Structure 1
Amino acid sequence: MTSRDYLNVRSAPSTSADRVGLLSPGDSVKSTGRLSDGFQEIVFKGAARWTSAASLRAVPAAETSASAPATASPDTASKTDATPSATPKAATSATPKATTSATPKVVASKAQSVAKTAAKSATTSTATKTVYTSTAVNLRSGAGTNYRTYGTLAKGATLTTRGTATNGWTPVTYNGRAGWVSTQYLTTTKPATSTGSGTSSGSSSWASLTAGGSSGLSGLRPNAVGIVNRVLTAFPQIKTIYGVRSDSIDDHPSGHAVDLMLPRGTADSALGQQIANYFRAHASELHVQYIMWNKHIWNISRDSEGWRVVADRGSATANHMDHVHITTVWD
Protein backbone atom coordinates (compact mmCIF):
# COMPACT_ATOMS: atom_id res chain seq x y z
CA MET A 1 0.00 0.00 0.00
CA THR A 2 1.13 3.58 -0.56
CA SER A 3 0.44 6.78 1.35
CA ARG A 4 -1.75 9.39 -0.38
CA ASP A 5 -0.46 12.18 1.88
CA TYR A 6 1.63 12.95 4.94
CA LEU A 7 0.27 10.53 7.56
CA ASN A 8 0.94 10.13 11.26
CA VAL A 9 1.98 6.64 12.30
CA ARG A 10 0.63 5.79 15.74
CA SER A 11 1.16 3.08 18.34
CA ALA A 12 -2.55 2.24 18.48
CA PRO A 13 -5.71 2.80 16.38
CA SER A 14 -6.59 6.19 17.89
CA THR A 15 -5.72 9.86 17.29
CA SER A 16 -4.83 10.07 20.98
CA ALA A 17 -2.23 7.31 20.70
CA ASP A 18 1.47 8.21 20.60
CA ARG A 19 2.89 9.30 17.25
CA VAL A 20 5.84 7.07 16.39
CA GLY A 21 6.57 8.26 12.87
CA LEU A 22 5.38 9.97 9.70
CA LEU A 23 4.65 8.67 6.20
CA SER A 24 5.29 10.93 3.21
CA PRO A 25 3.15 10.91 0.03
CA GLY A 26 4.05 7.85 -2.04
CA ASP A 27 5.71 5.91 0.78
CA SER A 28 5.11 2.16 0.50
CA VAL A 29 4.08 0.12 3.53
CA LYS A 30 2.90 -3.43 4.12
CA SER A 31 -0.60 -3.94 5.54
CA THR A 32 -1.33 -6.68 8.07
CA GLY A 33 -4.96 -6.70 6.99
CA ARG A 34 -6.29 -5.53 10.36
CA LEU A 35 -8.69 -2.54 10.53
CA SER A 36 -9.97 -0.74 13.62
CA ASP A 37 -11.97 2.51 13.95
CA GLY A 38 -10.84 3.78 10.56
CA PHE A 39 -7.21 2.86 11.16
CA GLN A 40 -5.15 0.34 9.17
CA GLU A 41 -2.47 -1.76 10.87
CA ILE A 42 0.81 -1.61 8.95
CA VAL A 43 4.39 -2.77 9.36
CA PHE A 44 6.49 0.31 10.10
CA LYS A 45 10.22 -0.05 10.78
CA GLY A 46 9.71 -3.72 11.60
CA ALA A 47 6.88 -3.20 14.11
CA ALA A 48 3.09 -3.31 13.89
CA ARG A 49 1.77 0.26 13.86
CA TRP A 50 -1.42 2.10 12.84
CA THR A 51 -2.30 4.88 10.41
CA SER A 52 -5.39 6.32 8.67
CA ALA A 53 -6.93 3.69 6.39
CA ALA A 54 -8.67 6.31 4.23
CA SER A 55 -5.35 7.85 3.22
CA LEU A 56 -3.72 4.61 2.07
CA ARG A 57 -3.94 3.36 -1.49
CA ALA A 58 -3.73 -0.27 -2.51
CA VAL A 59 -1.06 -0.69 -5.21
CA PRO A 60 -2.59 -2.29 -8.34
CA ALA A 61 -1.13 -5.60 -9.48
CA ALA A 62 0.06 -3.97 -12.72
CA GLU A 63 2.37 -1.73 -10.66
CA THR A 64 3.83 -4.54 -8.59
CA SER A 65 4.06 -7.53 -10.92
CA ALA A 66 6.01 -7.56 -14.17
CA SER A 67 4.54 -10.94 -15.11
CA ALA A 68 0.94 -9.76 -15.37
CA PRO A 69 -0.72 -10.96 -18.58
CA ALA A 70 -0.54 -8.53 -21.50
CA THR A 71 -3.77 -6.71 -22.30
CA ALA A 72 -4.84 -4.49 -25.17
CA SER A 73 -4.40 -0.76 -24.60
CA PRO A 74 -4.92 2.35 -26.74
CA ASP A 75 -1.15 2.67 -27.24
CA THR A 76 -0.56 -0.89 -28.44
CA ALA A 77 -3.68 -0.98 -30.62
CA SER A 78 -2.63 2.23 -32.38
CA LYS A 79 0.85 0.92 -33.13
CA THR A 80 -0.51 -2.35 -34.50
CA ASP A 81 -2.88 -0.50 -36.84
CA ALA A 82 -0.10 1.79 -38.05
CA THR A 83 2.29 -1.09 -38.83
CA PRO A 84 0.63 -3.66 -41.17
CA SER A 85 3.15 -6.46 -40.56
CA ALA A 86 1.16 -8.89 -42.75
CA THR A 87 2.17 -6.90 -45.86
CA PRO A 88 5.40 -8.31 -47.41
CA LYS A 89 8.29 -5.86 -47.62
CA ALA A 90 8.56 -6.53 -51.34
CA ALA A 91 5.06 -5.24 -51.93
CA THR A 92 5.77 -1.92 -50.19
CA SER A 93 9.35 -1.28 -51.20
CA ALA A 94 8.41 -0.64 -54.85
CA THR A 95 6.33 2.37 -53.83
CA PRO A 96 8.40 5.55 -53.48
CA LYS A 97 8.56 6.74 -49.83
CA ALA A 98 7.84 10.29 -50.92
CA THR A 99 4.33 9.38 -52.09
CA THR A 100 3.37 6.92 -49.33
CA SER A 101 4.69 8.30 -46.08
CA ALA A 102 5.82 11.91 -46.33
CA THR A 103 2.40 13.59 -46.68
CA PRO A 104 0.55 11.52 -44.06
CA LYS A 105 3.37 12.12 -41.57
CA VAL A 106 3.20 15.90 -42.02
CA VAL A 107 -0.59 15.92 -41.70
CA ALA A 108 -0.49 13.73 -38.61
CA SER A 109 2.22 15.90 -37.07
CA LYS A 110 0.16 19.06 -37.63
CA ALA A 111 -2.97 17.40 -36.24
CA GLN A 112 -1.13 16.29 -33.11
CA SER A 113 0.32 19.78 -32.64
CA VAL A 114 -3.12 21.39 -32.92
CA ALA A 115 -4.59 18.85 -30.48
CA LYS A 116 -1.82 19.44 -27.94
CA THR A 117 -2.19 23.21 -28.22
CA ALA A 118 -5.96 22.97 -27.72
CA ALA A 119 -5.56 20.66 -24.75
CA LYS A 120 -2.97 22.94 -23.17
CA SER A 121 -5.20 25.97 -23.71
CA ALA A 122 -8.18 24.22 -22.16
CA THR A 123 -6.14 23.14 -19.15
CA THR A 124 -4.70 26.60 -18.62
CA SER A 125 -8.10 28.28 -18.78
CA THR A 126 -9.61 26.09 -16.05
CA ALA A 127 -6.62 25.07 -13.95
CA THR A 128 -5.94 28.20 -11.89
CA LYS A 129 -7.97 31.14 -10.68
CA THR A 130 -8.30 33.13 -7.47
CA VAL A 131 -11.19 32.27 -5.14
CA TYR A 132 -12.13 33.18 -1.57
CA THR A 133 -13.72 31.32 1.34
CA SER A 134 -17.26 32.55 2.03
CA THR A 135 -17.07 31.37 5.66
CA ALA A 136 -14.64 29.57 7.97
CA VAL A 137 -13.99 26.21 6.32
CA ASN A 138 -11.59 23.26 6.69
CA LEU A 139 -8.65 22.76 4.33
CA ARG A 140 -8.30 19.00 3.81
CA SER A 141 -5.73 16.67 2.29
CA GLY A 142 -8.27 15.07 -0.08
CA ALA A 143 -11.70 15.46 -1.67
CA GLY A 144 -13.91 14.38 1.23
CA THR A 145 -14.63 14.78 4.93
CA ASN A 146 -12.79 11.52 5.65
CA TYR A 147 -9.47 13.13 4.74
CA ARG A 148 -7.12 14.82 7.19
CA THR A 149 -7.81 18.46 8.13
CA TYR A 150 -4.76 20.69 7.79
CA GLY A 151 -6.52 23.59 9.49
CA THR A 152 -9.56 25.85 9.44
CA LEU A 153 -9.39 28.71 6.95
CA ALA A 154 -10.83 32.05 7.98
CA LYS A 155 -13.63 33.72 6.07
CA GLY A 156 -12.17 35.65 3.15
CA ALA A 157 -9.00 33.55 2.86
CA THR A 158 -7.44 33.87 -0.61
CA LEU A 159 -6.90 30.59 -2.48
CA THR A 160 -5.71 29.54 -5.93
CA THR A 161 -7.50 26.65 -7.61
CA ARG A 162 -5.41 23.79 -9.04
CA GLY A 163 -7.99 22.32 -11.39
CA THR A 164 -11.67 21.48 -11.70
CA ALA A 165 -13.91 20.36 -8.82
CA THR A 166 -14.38 16.68 -8.02
CA ASN A 167 -17.55 15.48 -6.28
CA GLY A 168 -18.19 18.90 -4.76
CA TRP A 169 -14.56 19.50 -3.70
CA THR A 170 -12.12 21.94 -5.32
CA PRO A 171 -8.33 21.44 -5.35
CA VAL A 172 -6.66 24.62 -4.11
CA THR A 173 -3.38 26.06 -2.89
CA TYR A 174 -3.21 28.17 0.26
CA ASN A 175 0.09 29.83 1.19
CA GLY A 176 1.97 27.11 -0.68
CA ARG A 177 -0.08 24.27 0.87
CA ALA A 178 -1.98 22.10 -1.62
CA GLY A 179 -5.34 20.90 -0.32
CA TRP A 180 -9.07 20.59 -0.96
CA VAL A 181 -12.02 22.77 0.09
CA SER A 182 -15.75 22.11 -0.22
CA THR A 183 -16.78 23.96 -3.40
CA GLN A 184 -19.99 25.35 -1.88
CA TYR A 185 -17.93 27.54 0.45
CA LEU A 186 -15.86 29.18 -2.30
CA THR A 187 -16.64 32.42 -4.11
CA THR A 188 -14.93 34.53 -6.76
CA THR A 189 -15.89 37.71 -4.91
CA LYS A 190 -13.90 38.57 -1.79
CA PRO A 191 -16.35 38.81 1.15
CA ALA A 192 -16.21 41.59 3.72
CA THR A 193 -14.31 40.53 6.84
CA SER A 194 -13.71 42.11 10.20
CA THR A 195 -10.27 43.56 10.72
CA GLY A 196 -8.23 41.68 13.29
CA SER A 197 -5.28 42.61 15.48
CA GLY A 198 -2.75 40.97 13.19
CA THR A 199 0.10 43.44 13.63
CA SER A 200 2.61 43.39 16.44
CA SER A 201 2.04 45.80 19.30
CA GLY A 202 4.81 48.06 20.55
CA SER A 203 8.25 46.83 19.56
CA SER A 204 9.37 47.11 23.17
CA SER A 205 6.69 44.63 24.26
CA TRP A 206 7.73 42.10 21.63
CA ALA A 207 11.36 42.72 22.51
CA SER A 208 10.60 41.72 26.10
CA LEU A 209 9.29 38.39 24.81
CA THR A 210 12.49 37.80 22.87
CA ALA A 211 14.47 38.62 25.99
CA GLY A 212 12.38 36.05 27.85
CA GLY A 213 13.52 33.26 25.53
CA SER A 214 10.62 33.35 23.07
CA SER A 215 11.18 32.09 19.52
CA GLY A 216 9.37 31.66 16.22
CA LEU A 217 7.38 34.89 16.57
CA SER A 218 8.49 36.58 13.34
CA GLY A 219 6.80 33.94 11.17
CA LEU A 220 3.39 34.02 12.85
CA ARG A 221 0.26 34.60 10.78
CA PRO A 222 -1.94 37.65 11.62
CA ASN A 223 -4.42 35.70 13.76
CA ALA A 224 -1.61 34.23 15.87
CA VAL A 225 -0.02 37.67 16.16
CA GLY A 226 -3.37 38.84 17.56
CA ILE A 227 -3.14 36.18 20.29
CA VAL A 228 0.35 37.36 21.26
CA ASN A 229 -0.80 40.99 21.38
CA ARG A 230 -3.68 40.07 23.67
CA VAL A 231 -1.36 38.09 25.94
CA LEU A 232 0.89 41.13 26.29
CA THR A 233 -2.00 43.25 27.55
CA ALA A 234 -4.13 40.71 29.44
CA PHE A 235 -1.41 38.45 30.86
CA PRO A 236 1.85 40.46 31.07
CA GLN A 237 3.30 37.84 33.44
CA ILE A 238 3.79 35.57 30.40
CA LYS A 239 7.34 36.21 29.21
CA THR A 240 8.01 33.22 26.96
CA ILE A 241 5.98 32.31 23.87
CA TYR A 242 6.92 29.76 21.21
CA GLY A 243 5.52 30.16 17.70
CA VAL A 244 6.81 28.74 14.42
CA ARG A 245 8.76 25.49 14.78
CA SER A 246 9.00 22.10 13.10
CA ASP A 247 6.32 19.56 13.96
CA SER A 248 4.45 16.67 12.35
CA ILE A 249 1.19 18.61 12.78
CA ASP A 250 0.82 21.75 10.63
CA ASP A 251 -0.27 24.24 13.33
CA HIS A 252 3.18 25.46 14.43
CA PRO A 253 5.06 25.15 11.10
CA SER A 254 2.37 27.18 9.32
CA GLY A 255 2.48 30.01 11.88
CA HIS A 256 -1.03 29.44 13.25
CA ALA A 257 -0.18 28.24 16.76
CA VAL A 258 1.51 29.56 19.91
CA ASP A 259 2.57 27.98 23.19
CA LEU A 260 2.16 30.30 26.18
CA MET A 261 4.73 29.09 28.72
CA LEU A 262 3.80 29.53 32.39
CA PRO A 263 6.47 31.36 34.46
CA ARG A 264 6.67 28.63 37.14
CA GLY A 265 5.65 25.72 34.97
CA THR A 266 3.17 23.31 36.56
CA ALA A 267 3.18 25.38 39.76
CA ASP A 268 1.21 28.04 37.85
CA SER A 269 -1.77 25.80 37.05
CA ALA A 270 -4.25 28.41 38.34
CA LEU A 271 -2.83 30.97 35.90
CA GLY A 272 -2.92 28.42 33.10
CA GLN A 273 -6.59 27.71 33.72
CA GLN A 274 -7.34 31.44 33.78
CA ILE A 275 -5.60 31.91 30.42
CA ALA A 276 -7.34 28.91 28.86
CA ASN A 277 -10.76 30.12 30.04
CA TYR A 278 -10.07 33.65 28.82
CA PHE A 279 -9.20 32.65 25.27
CA ARG A 280 -12.12 30.23 25.13
CA ALA A 281 -14.45 33.09 26.09
CA HIS A 282 -12.89 35.33 23.41
CA ALA A 283 -12.48 32.64 20.76
CA SER A 284 -14.75 34.19 18.14
CA GLU A 285 -13.24 37.64 18.56
CA LEU A 286 -9.65 36.37 18.36
CA HIS A 287 -10.22 33.64 15.74
CA VAL A 288 -9.29 30.76 18.05
CA GLN A 289 -9.75 27.31 16.53
CA TYR A 290 -8.82 25.17 19.55
CA ILE A 291 -7.00 25.28 22.90
CA MET A 292 -5.04 22.53 24.67
CA TRP A 293 -4.40 22.79 28.40
CA ASN A 294 -3.75 20.36 31.26
CA LYS A 295 -4.56 17.11 29.36
CA HIS A 296 -7.75 18.64 27.91
CA ILE A 297 -8.77 20.13 24.57
CA TRP A 298 -11.49 22.59 23.63
CA ASN A 299 -12.50 23.22 20.02
CA ILE A 300 -14.79 26.04 18.88
CA SER A 301 -16.54 23.68 16.46
CA ARG A 302 -17.37 21.38 19.40
CA ASP A 303 -18.01 24.07 22.00
CA SER A 304 -21.08 22.29 23.39
CA GLU A 305 -18.85 19.41 24.55
CA GLY A 306 -16.71 21.69 26.70
CA TRP A 307 -13.21 20.58 27.71
CA ARG A 308 -12.55 17.05 26.44
CA VAL A 309 -9.99 14.72 28.05
CA VAL A 310 -6.84 13.89 26.06
CA ALA A 311 -4.94 10.64 26.65
CA ASP A 312 -1.82 10.85 28.79
CA ARG A 313 1.22 11.67 26.63
CA GLY A 314 3.88 11.19 29.29
CA SER A 315 5.57 14.45 30.26
CA ALA A 316 4.14 17.66 31.70
CA THR A 317 5.02 19.52 28.49
CA ALA A 318 3.48 16.88 26.21
CA ASN A 319 0.35 16.97 28.38
CA HIS A 320 0.19 20.79 28.18
CA MET A 321 0.51 21.17 31.94
CA ASP A 322 3.26 23.81 31.89
CA HIS A 323 1.88 25.86 29.01
CA VAL A 324 -1.33 26.71 27.14
CA HIS A 325 -1.40 25.83 23.43
CA ILE A 326 -3.62 27.91 21.13
CA THR A 327 -4.23 27.22 17.44
CA THR A 328 -5.97 29.93 15.44
CA VAL A 329 -8.20 29.77 12.40
CA TRP A 330 -5.97 29.71 9.31
CA ASP A 331 -5.69 33.14 7.67
Structure 2
Amino acid sequence: MANSHKRDTDARLTPRRTPKAVLVAGPLAFLATASAVTLGVLASDPGTRDIIASRDATTNLSMTREPVVSRSDSRRAARTSAEYLMNLQDAYDARKTREAIRHAHTRLWTTTLLNIWSGPEADAKQLGELDAAKKVLVTGRAAQGRQEIVLDGKARWVTAGYLADEKPAPAAAAGLSSAPCPDSSVEDGLTSGAVQVYRSVCHAFPQVTTYLGWDAHGEHSSGKAIDIMTSDKALGDQIAAYLQAHASELGLYDVIWWDQIWTPERASEGWRYYGDHGSATANHMDHVHVSVL
Protein backbone atom coordinates (compact mmCIF):
# COMPACT_ATOMS: atom_id res chain seq x y z
CA MET A 1 0.00 0.00 0.00
CA ALA A 2 1.16 3.46 -0.83
CA ASN A 3 0.54 4.86 2.62
CA SER A 4 2.32 2.03 4.31
CA HIS A 5 5.70 3.05 3.02
CA LYS A 6 8.06 4.97 5.28
CA ARG A 7 8.29 8.60 4.30
CA ASP A 8 11.58 9.24 2.45
CA THR A 9 13.59 12.41 2.23
CA ASP A 10 12.82 14.52 -0.84
CA ALA A 11 14.72 12.77 -3.57
CA ARG A 12 13.93 15.26 -6.36
CA LEU A 13 16.87 16.12 -8.59
CA THR A 14 18.18 19.74 -8.33
CA PRO A 15 20.39 21.50 -10.85
CA ARG A 16 24.13 21.35 -9.92
CA ARG A 17 25.73 24.79 -9.44
CA THR A 18 28.99 25.52 -11.19
CA PRO A 19 31.65 26.84 -8.75
CA LYS A 20 32.35 30.58 -9.07
CA ALA A 21 36.04 29.96 -9.55
CA VAL A 22 35.27 28.00 -12.68
CA LEU A 23 33.00 30.73 -13.98
CA VAL A 24 35.69 33.39 -13.50
CA ALA A 25 38.54 31.26 -14.73
CA GLY A 26 36.95 30.78 -18.12
CA PRO A 27 36.94 34.43 -19.21
CA LEU A 28 40.38 34.99 -17.68
CA ALA A 29 41.81 32.10 -19.60
CA PHE A 30 40.29 33.48 -22.76
CA LEU A 31 41.74 36.95 -22.10
CA ALA A 32 45.16 35.54 -21.31
CA THR A 33 45.14 33.53 -24.50
CA ALA A 34 44.00 36.52 -26.53
CA SER A 35 46.64 38.75 -24.95
CA ALA A 36 49.40 36.27 -25.63
CA VAL A 37 48.32 35.96 -29.23
CA THR A 38 48.14 39.72 -29.61
CA LEU A 39 51.57 40.26 -28.06
CA GLY A 40 52.99 37.55 -30.25
CA VAL A 41 51.63 39.24 -33.32
CA LEU A 42 52.90 42.64 -32.23
CA ALA A 43 56.28 41.32 -31.26
CA SER A 44 56.67 39.72 -34.66
CA ASP A 45 56.61 43.17 -36.23
CA PRO A 46 60.08 44.90 -36.06
CA GLY A 47 58.61 48.42 -35.82
CA THR A 48 56.38 47.44 -32.97
CA ARG A 49 59.28 45.83 -31.10
CA ASP A 50 61.23 49.08 -31.29
CA ILE A 51 58.30 51.10 -29.92
CA ILE A 52 57.80 48.70 -27.02
CA ALA A 53 61.51 48.67 -26.16
CA SER A 54 61.66 52.48 -26.32
CA ARG A 55 58.67 52.84 -24.00
CA ASP A 56 60.14 50.35 -21.52
CA ALA A 57 63.48 52.16 -21.43
CA THR A 58 61.78 55.54 -20.96
CA THR A 59 59.61 54.18 -18.15
CA ASN A 60 62.60 52.66 -16.36
CA LEU A 61 64.60 55.90 -16.61
CA SER A 62 61.72 58.02 -15.37
CA MET A 63 61.27 55.71 -12.38
CA THR A 64 64.95 55.53 -11.37
CA ARG A 65 66.38 58.95 -12.31
CA GLU A 66 66.95 61.21 -9.25
CA PRO A 67 68.56 64.62 -8.93
CA VAL A 68 72.26 64.38 -8.11
CA VAL A 69 73.76 66.86 -5.60
CA SER A 70 77.49 66.65 -4.94
CA ARG A 71 79.05 67.14 -1.50
CA SER A 72 81.17 69.97 -2.80
CA ASP A 73 78.03 71.81 -3.92
CA SER A 74 76.50 71.35 -0.46
CA ARG A 75 79.61 72.60 1.29
CA ARG A 76 79.86 75.55 -1.07
CA ALA A 77 76.25 76.50 -0.43
CA ALA A 78 76.68 76.23 3.35
CA ARG A 79 79.87 78.31 3.25
CA THR A 80 78.23 80.97 1.12
CA SER A 81 75.27 81.12 3.50
CA ALA A 82 77.55 81.46 6.56
CA GLU A 83 79.61 84.19 4.91
CA TYR A 84 76.44 86.02 3.98
CA LEU A 85 75.19 85.94 7.57
CA MET A 86 78.57 87.12 8.88
CA ASN A 87 78.57 90.01 6.44
CA LEU A 88 75.08 90.94 7.57
CA GLN A 89 76.18 90.88 11.22
CA ASP A 90 79.27 92.99 10.48
CA ALA A 91 77.16 95.53 8.62
CA TYR A 92 74.67 95.66 11.49
CA ASP A 93 77.42 96.11 14.11
CA ALA A 94 79.05 98.87 12.06
CA ARG A 95 75.74 100.69 11.76
CA LYS A 96 75.08 100.45 15.50
CA THR A 97 78.59 101.76 16.23
CA ARG A 98 78.08 104.74 13.93
CA GLU A 99 74.79 105.49 15.64
CA ALA A 100 76.39 105.23 19.10
CA ILE A 101 79.17 107.64 18.10
CA ARG A 102 76.71 110.06 16.51
CA HIS A 103 74.52 110.19 19.63
CA ALA A 104 77.34 110.27 22.20
CA HIS A 105 77.27 113.44 24.30
CA THR A 106 78.41 112.46 27.82
CA ARG A 107 81.99 113.04 28.89
CA LEU A 108 83.63 111.31 31.86
CA TRP A 109 87.02 111.44 33.55
CA THR A 110 89.51 108.59 33.59
CA THR A 111 90.46 107.77 37.17
CA THR A 112 93.61 105.79 36.38
CA LEU A 113 95.87 104.81 33.50
CA LEU A 114 93.82 102.73 31.06
CA ASN A 115 94.64 100.52 28.11
CA ILE A 116 92.85 101.39 24.87
CA TRP A 117 91.35 98.42 23.02
CA SER A 118 89.95 97.99 19.53
CA GLY A 119 86.90 96.16 20.87
CA PRO A 120 85.37 94.50 23.94
CA GLU A 121 86.50 91.00 22.95
CA ALA A 122 89.23 89.22 24.89
CA ASP A 123 91.36 89.01 21.73
CA ALA A 124 90.92 92.69 20.82
CA LYS A 125 94.04 94.60 19.82
CA GLN A 126 95.62 97.02 22.29
CA LEU A 127 96.00 100.39 20.59
CA GLY A 128 97.70 102.43 23.30
CA GLU A 129 97.11 103.92 26.73
CA LEU A 130 94.91 106.66 28.15
CA ASP A 131 96.33 108.72 31.01
CA ALA A 132 94.48 109.33 34.25
CA ALA A 133 92.47 112.55 34.66
CA LYS A 134 91.54 112.69 30.97
CA LYS A 135 88.02 113.65 29.91
CA VAL A 136 86.64 111.35 27.23
CA LEU A 137 83.41 111.03 25.27
CA VAL A 138 81.44 107.89 26.10
CA THR A 139 78.70 106.17 24.11
CA GLY A 140 77.00 104.46 27.04
CA ARG A 141 77.63 101.00 25.62
CA ALA A 142 79.41 98.31 27.65
CA ALA A 143 80.30 94.68 27.00
CA GLN A 144 82.51 91.98 28.48
CA GLY A 145 83.87 94.19 31.26
CA ARG A 146 84.71 97.13 29.00
CA GLN A 147 83.14 100.51 28.18
CA GLU A 148 83.01 102.15 24.77
CA ILE A 149 84.53 105.60 24.33
CA VAL A 150 85.13 107.84 21.33
CA LEU A 151 88.67 108.87 20.42
CA ASP A 152 89.33 110.91 17.28
CA GLY A 153 85.88 110.03 15.99
CA LYS A 154 86.43 106.28 16.33
CA ALA A 155 84.97 103.75 18.75
CA ARG A 156 87.47 102.45 21.29
CA TRP A 157 87.13 100.42 24.49
CA VAL A 158 88.59 100.70 28.01
CA THR A 159 88.20 98.63 31.18
CA ALA A 160 84.86 99.35 32.83
CA GLY A 161 84.65 101.02 36.24
CA TYR A 162 87.38 103.62 35.77
CA LEU A 163 85.39 106.53 34.35
CA ALA A 164 83.93 109.13 36.73
CA ASP A 165 81.74 112.22 36.58
CA GLU A 166 84.26 114.31 38.52
CA LYS A 167 87.92 114.85 37.85
CA PRO A 168 89.98 112.72 40.24
CA ALA A 169 92.28 114.40 42.74
CA PRO A 170 95.98 114.16 41.93
CA ALA A 171 97.53 110.92 43.07
CA ALA A 172 99.72 111.06 46.13
CA ALA A 173 103.15 112.28 45.21
CA ALA A 174 104.75 110.60 48.19
CA GLY A 175 107.29 107.90 47.60
CA LEU A 176 107.91 104.87 49.75
CA SER A 177 108.24 105.05 53.50
CA SER A 178 109.59 102.64 56.08
CA ALA A 179 108.49 104.66 59.09
CA PRO A 180 106.16 102.87 61.51
CA CYS A 181 102.42 103.42 61.15
CA PRO A 182 100.05 104.40 63.99
CA ASP A 183 98.60 100.85 64.25
CA SER A 184 101.60 98.55 64.56
CA SER A 185 99.39 95.52 65.32
CA VAL A 186 98.63 95.23 61.60
CA GLU A 187 102.22 94.06 61.08
CA ASP A 188 101.81 90.98 63.27
CA GLY A 189 102.43 87.87 61.17
CA LEU A 190 103.39 89.82 58.02
CA THR A 191 106.54 89.29 55.99
CA SER A 192 109.01 92.15 55.70
CA GLY A 193 107.79 92.83 52.16
CA ALA A 194 104.17 93.15 53.27
CA VAL A 195 105.23 95.42 56.15
CA GLN A 196 106.98 97.69 53.64
CA VAL A 197 103.76 97.94 51.58
CA TYR A 198 101.69 98.70 54.68
CA ARG A 199 104.01 101.46 55.87
CA SER A 200 104.28 103.05 52.45
CA VAL A 201 100.51 103.13 51.91
CA CYS A 202 99.63 104.33 55.40
CA HIS A 203 101.94 107.34 55.03
CA ALA A 204 100.91 108.11 51.46
CA PHE A 205 97.20 107.91 52.34
CA PRO A 206 96.73 108.96 55.96
CA GLN A 207 92.95 109.19 55.45
CA VAL A 208 92.79 105.38 55.45
CA THR A 209 92.48 104.20 59.03
CA THR A 210 91.67 100.49 58.76
CA TYR A 211 93.93 97.71 57.48
CA LEU A 212 93.69 93.93 57.68
CA GLY A 213 96.88 91.88 57.75
CA TRP A 214 97.47 88.24 58.60
CA ASP A 215 94.47 85.93 58.38
CA ALA A 216 93.96 82.19 58.05
CA HIS A 217 92.60 82.27 54.50
CA GLY A 218 93.93 82.81 50.99
CA GLU A 219 97.06 84.85 50.43
CA HIS A 220 96.69 86.34 53.91
CA SER A 221 97.65 83.03 55.54
CA SER A 222 101.18 83.40 54.13
CA GLY A 223 101.62 86.84 55.69
CA LYS A 224 102.22 88.32 52.24
CA ALA A 225 98.95 90.23 51.80
CA ILE A 226 97.12 93.17 53.32
CA ASP A 227 93.70 94.72 52.75
CA ILE A 228 93.44 98.49 52.60
CA MET A 229 89.87 99.18 53.69
CA THR A 230 87.91 101.82 51.75
CA SER A 231 84.61 101.96 49.88
CA ASP A 232 85.50 105.31 48.30
CA LYS A 233 85.94 104.51 44.61
CA ALA A 234 88.05 107.57 43.82
CA LEU A 235 90.33 106.99 46.80
CA GLY A 236 90.66 103.31 46.01
CA ASP A 237 91.61 104.20 42.44
CA GLN A 238 94.38 106.45 43.73
CA ILE A 239 95.71 103.76 46.05
CA ALA A 240 95.65 101.19 43.24
CA ALA A 241 97.47 103.60 40.92
CA TYR A 242 100.07 104.27 43.62
CA LEU A 243 100.70 100.56 44.06
CA GLN A 244 101.00 100.08 40.29
CA ALA A 245 103.54 102.88 40.08
CA HIS A 246 105.69 101.28 42.81
CA ALA A 247 105.04 97.63 41.92
CA SER A 248 108.66 96.90 41.05
CA GLU A 249 110.10 98.58 44.15
CA LEU A 250 107.61 96.87 46.45
CA GLY A 251 107.89 93.47 44.76
CA LEU A 252 104.15 93.16 44.23
CA TYR A 253 102.44 89.97 43.13
CA ASP A 254 98.93 91.33 42.52
CA VAL A 255 96.50 94.16 43.23
CA ILE A 256 92.74 93.53 43.36
CA TRP A 257 90.24 96.38 43.50
CA TRP A 258 86.62 96.91 42.48
CA ASP A 259 86.20 93.51 40.86
CA GLN A 260 89.37 93.96 38.77
CA ILE A 261 92.80 92.41 39.10
CA TRP A 262 96.18 93.73 37.98
CA THR A 263 99.47 91.82 38.04
CA PRO A 264 102.96 93.02 37.10
CA GLU A 265 103.49 89.80 35.14
CA ARG A 266 100.59 90.69 32.82
CA ALA A 267 100.85 94.45 33.11
CA SER A 268 100.47 94.91 29.35
CA GLU A 269 96.89 93.63 29.64
CA GLY A 270 95.96 96.31 32.16
CA TRP A 271 93.17 95.65 34.64
CA ARG A 272 91.34 92.38 34.06
CA TYR A 273 87.90 91.28 35.18
CA TYR A 274 88.15 89.49 38.51
CA GLY A 275 84.76 87.78 38.48
CA ASP A 276 81.66 87.87 40.63
CA HIS A 277 82.32 86.11 43.93
CA GLY A 278 78.98 86.87 45.57
CA SER A 279 79.45 89.95 47.74
CA ALA A 280 80.98 93.42 47.80
CA THR A 281 83.75 92.23 50.10
CA ALA A 282 84.50 89.10 48.06
CA ASN A 283 84.57 91.24 44.92
CA HIS A 284 87.00 93.67 46.65
CA MET A 285 84.68 96.66 46.38
CA ASP A 286 85.24 97.78 49.98
CA HIS A 287 89.00 97.32 50.11
CA VAL A 288 92.13 97.26 47.97
CA HIS A 289 93.89 93.90 48.25
CA VAL A 290 97.63 93.77 47.63
CA SER A 291 100.14 90.95 48.01
CA VAL A 292 103.89 90.62 47.55
CA LEU A 293 106.08 87.92 46.06
TM-score normalised by the chain length of structure 1: 0.34
Structure 1 or 2, whichever has the larger Rg, is 2
Q: TM-score, normalised by structure 2?
A: 0.38
